[in-house]
Structure formats: structure tokens, C-alpha cells
Amino acid sequence: MSILINNDTKVLIQGITGKEGAFHTGQMVAYGTKVVAGVTPGKAGRSFDGIPVYNTVKDARAATGADTSAIFVPPAFAADAVMEAMDAGVETVVCLTEGIPTFDMIAVRQYMKGRDVKLIGPNTPGVISPGSCKIGVMAGYIHAPGPVGIMSRSGTLTYEVVDQLTKIGIGQSTCVGIGGDPIIGLNFVDLLAMFEKDEDTQAVVIIGEIGGSAEEDAAEYFRRHMTKPVVAFIAGITAPPGRRMGHAGAIVSGGKGTAAEKISALEDAGITVVKDPARVGTTVQNILAGKR
């Protein structure tokens, strides 16, 4: 099994006719994801590679029963698209868009209060449950089904870790990019709770980076609630303070959010922190071997 998405997940794509949306829809379908609908205002009645397109998420849901939305909408309109999906009753929203203004995301988080909905991202490569469902822009073929849950704030660094694992024969239950922005939906703590409950996940990898306190919170949660082993890598030991390292959320400000702080919080909680990014795979291997 997996968390968040599986074989039964019915996906709709907001922004299906855009360049990114179109390309990645094709990739997702090829991977086996059940993409049942697309939404682009003004383009209802058309079909995209056999997928029906609707003007609104509400229409798309009514016609197809889609329960999960992937958002490929430009940054200025993406927050609105997220809220539209939530209003229409979508259970899980995966927002791929990078560059959404922070205040728009504050509005989204307000909008989520009292609604039973999960948001992944924004600025995420997406979510994949290898072998069953991929919602996002990651290359599907590097993944393999297996016992390791991965959660990360970045894209290609996650692929790196996935690749290391797959190459030594260790598959993944679900890989989730939580997003590189300061304000996001699901965080490491939410996902740790899901992985802890997921029967098929035996170990979890956290790929963190400088900025914010998501890793510290994860450490605290681990200390109190987790029984499964967790391995972490934190990027940005060499990052200079006060500079945004690519991701809007990756910044050390006022001496807070440093890699060193995060590493010591994770280690204090009993999480294995890998210092060498080339050795995440083998570290997980050792831990799984020790457990069995």
C-alpha cells in the first residue's frame, strides 16, 4: 500500500491545456495514473488525449468523480485554482506551481480551515506511489515499489535518493515532495503520522534543507510518536546566511533555520542523519537490514 494516492485515485488536472499541464498529463497517463478529467475555463467539451475537459472543477467532479487534483496553473492564478478544487470537494490537492505569492498561500491556508482536505505543495515535484499512481513531474521509471517512505522539500535531490535506493534493490511506498515554499500544506509531521500508520512503510527518509523549522518539528514528533526508523539528510550546510537558495523557503534568516541546528535536533531525537548525500541509500539499507 501507500499513503495519499494509490491505484484507485482518480485525478483531474487543472491547467491541462497549458504547456506543462499537457506534457505531464501525458507522462502521468503513461505511468498508469487514472487521469479522468481536465479543467481549463472556456474549453469545456473538448478532450485532451481522450480525457474530457471541463470549465470548472465542480463540473469535472460531478461528471467523473475525480477525488484528487493536480494543479499546473500559472503562479498568479494558482491559489485561486487550489481554492476552487477545495470548494468542489476534492480530497487531495497537489499544487505543482512554483512562484505563488506568500499572501496568496496564507489565504489558501485560511480557506482550508474547517475543510477536510489535504494540500501538497505548492512548488512540489508531486507525489508518487511507485507502481500504482504518479501525480507530478518526477520521472516515474527511477522509482520501484517497496518499503521506504520518502518526504522531501526538493525535487532532483529526491530523485537522487530514490535512484540510490532503487539501484540497491530498495523500493519506495510513497514519495512526497512537500514543497520548497515557506507556506505549504502537508508538512513533515503530517506525513510522518501517515507513514507510521501505513503497513507497507518500514522506514522513512526525510530530505530537508535550510530555512523554517519543519525538520525540528519532525524531530519532536519522531521522539514522541514514531516507532519506525527515520533517516534524514539536510541540504545546505555550506549555504550562506540571508540568501535564498533557489527555493523561496530555503533561507537562513537571523541565524535561524541553519542546517547545523536541524541536524542536531534530528540527532537528539534519535534520527540517523546522513552527512554525505551519496550515502543515503546505503544508510537506509543498513537500517532495514538491522531491523529485519
Partner 1 sequence: MKIHEYQAKKLLQEYGIPIPRGQIAKTYTEALQTAGKIGRGPFVLKAQIHAGGRGKAGGIKTASSGEDVGRMASEMLSKVLVTTQTGEEGKPVQTLLVEEVLEIGREIYLGIVIDRQKACPVILASSEGGVEIERLAREEPDKVITEAVDPCVGLRPFQANRIFYSLGIDQKLARQAMAIIIGLYRLFIEKDCSLAEINPLVITKEGSLVALDAKVTVDDNALFRHPETAALRDIGQENPLEVEAAKHNLNYIKLKGSVGCMVNGAGLAMATMDLIKLVGAEPANFLDVGGGATSQMVKEGFRILLYDKDVKMIFINIFGGILRCDTLAQGVVDAARELVIDMPIVVRLEGTNVEEGRRILAESGLTFTVATGLEDAAKKVGEIINGYKEGIR
Q: Which residues are catalytic?
A: 247
Q: Under the criterion CB under 8 A, does residue 32 sit at the interface with partner 1? A: no
Q: Under the criterion CB under 8 A, does residue 18 sit at the interface with partner 1? A: no
- Best CA proximity match to 27, nearest among 124, 98, 133: 133
Q: Under the criterion CB under 8 A, does residue 125 sit at the interface with partner 1? A: yes
Q: Between residues 12 and 138, which has the closer beta carbon with respect to partner 1?
A: 138
Span of 8-16, 64-72, 86-94, 106-114 interacting with partner 1 by CB under 8 A: 106-114
Q: Under the criterion CB under 8 A, does residue 115 sit at the interface with partner 1? A: no
- Quickly tell me which residue has 480525457 as its cell: 51
Q: Under the criterion CB under 8 A, does residue 47 sit at the interface with partner 1? A: no
Provide the 10 A C-beta neighbour count for residue 55: 14
Alpha-carbon gap, residue 148 to 232, rounded angstroms? 12
Contact 136, 125 (CB under 8 A): yes
Q: Which string of x and - marks every residue 177-196 that binds partner 1 (by CB under 8 A)?
A: ---x-xx---x---------
- Best CA proximity match to 95, nearest among 79, 111, 115: 79
CB of 150 to partner 1, least distance (A): 12
Q: Under the criterion CB under 8 A, does residue 279 sit at the interface with partner 1? A: yes
Alpha-carbon gap, residue 119 to 94, rounded angstroms? 6
- Best CA proximity match to 92, nearest among 73, 72, 66: 66
- As beta bridge partners, residue 172 has 148
3-class SS at 22?
helix
- Best CA proximity match to 178, nearest among 164, 197, 157: 157
Q: Under the criterion CB under 8 A, does residue 206 sit at the interface with partner 1? A: no
CB of 172 to partner 1, least distance (A): 15
Alpha-carbon gap, residue 130 to 256, rounded angstroms? 36
The size of the interface with partner 1 (CB under 8 A), counted in residues, is 69
- Judged by CB under 8 A, which of 16, 119, 239, 284 binds partner 1? 239
Q: Which residues bind partner 1 (CB under 8 A)?
A: 23-24, 27, 75-76, 99-107, 109-110, 125, 137-139, 141-142, 152-160, 163-164, 180, 182-183, 187, 207, 209-210, 212-213, 217, 233, 235-240, 242-250, 253-256, 259, 275-279
